[in-house]
Amino acid sequence: MTQNKTAIITGASSGLGLETTKALVAQGFKVLMVSRGEQKLLDAANQIRQAHPEAEISEHVVDISNLDQVRNFAKSVGNNVDLLVNNAGLMGPDFSLSIDGIESQMATNHVGHFLLTSELMESLEKAQGRVVHLSSVVHRRGKFPELSPEVLQGSNKSSYDRWQRYADTKLACLLFGRELDLRLKQSGSRVLSVIAHPGWAITGLQKNHPHTLDSFAQDAATGARSQILAATDQELSGGEFIGPKFELWGEPKQIRGSKRSQDLGLSKGLWEATEELIGIKFLG
């Protein structure tokens, strides 16, 4: 029964986030749509209201890479959060630092979501809720040969490789989801942590990096099936990684991910480095 359940979706104004919002609204969820671009967010919300006049949605302009904005948003959220979908992302931008001095891809794809999840955990606990983390097939290229707050921060422009950094952030999303699952279970929590990836899908992230084979990719609605299943399948118990059957395409199913993504030492190291970088303790 999803009626009256509350979901928060970051990056909800386009692509996978918008398609996930549509699907959850159709299932009766109240959805808090989070995005950094105000006009685009308003347009997306109005599009959903036209299709679903009964929809309970609200718009929240938040830059996930801005840690103060994340904290302020979390404080504004009510007591019960049934579902948090950490969907917002950047892919391969020119080098830049967030307002907190963290490389923009890592700040958006991992660090901001780590903080948001931490800030909302009490509300998720009350609802026995669920967190969905969005990874990517390129997590397989993620390396993290060493982990430290400095590596996560990535403030050295001369060593910036946009595609390696993107792969590292998506490995971080998967490691975070698995480590969160482990810590939740160890604490006796009934909150679930599930990871998903869309396969090869055209979502808007690719607009500055078009590929000659993009016509063969899935559309955003098809790509979003993995995270919608991760968000709603009542048979899941936490820790699952959901992606297309044939990795780039296909019906969503439980998959394994790379060997590195299953490294418990690496996931623990990422967790501790992230805590140190932003100065918090989360389920410690």
| Amino acid symbol at 150 | E
One-letter identity of residue 255: I
Residue 8 has pLDDT above 50, yes or no: yes
The span from the CA of 283 to the CA of 67, in Å, is: 19
The Cα–Cα gap between 106 and 129 comes to 25
Angle between helices 264-278 and 162-186 (to 10 degrees): 100
Question: What percentage of the chain exceeds 90 in pLDDT?
Answer: 85
**pLDDT class for 89, splitting at 50, 70, 90?**
very high
CA distance 281 to 194: 21
Please write the tens of the pLDDT for every residue from 172-201.
999 999 999 999 999 999 999 999 999 865
In this structure, whether the domain defined by 6-278 belongs to CATH 3.40.50.720 is answered with yes
> Each residue of 11-49: pLDDT tens digit?
999 999 999 999 999 999 999 999 999 999 999 999 999
Name the average pLDDT for the chain. 93
Read off the amino acid at residue 38.
E
**Domain residue ranges in the chain:** 6-278
Encoding tokens for residue 240? 């699952």
pLDDT tier at 206 (50, 70, 90 boundaries)?
A: very low
Higher per-residue pLDDT: 1 or 111? 111
| Positions marked active-site | 160
CA distance 197 to 218: 13
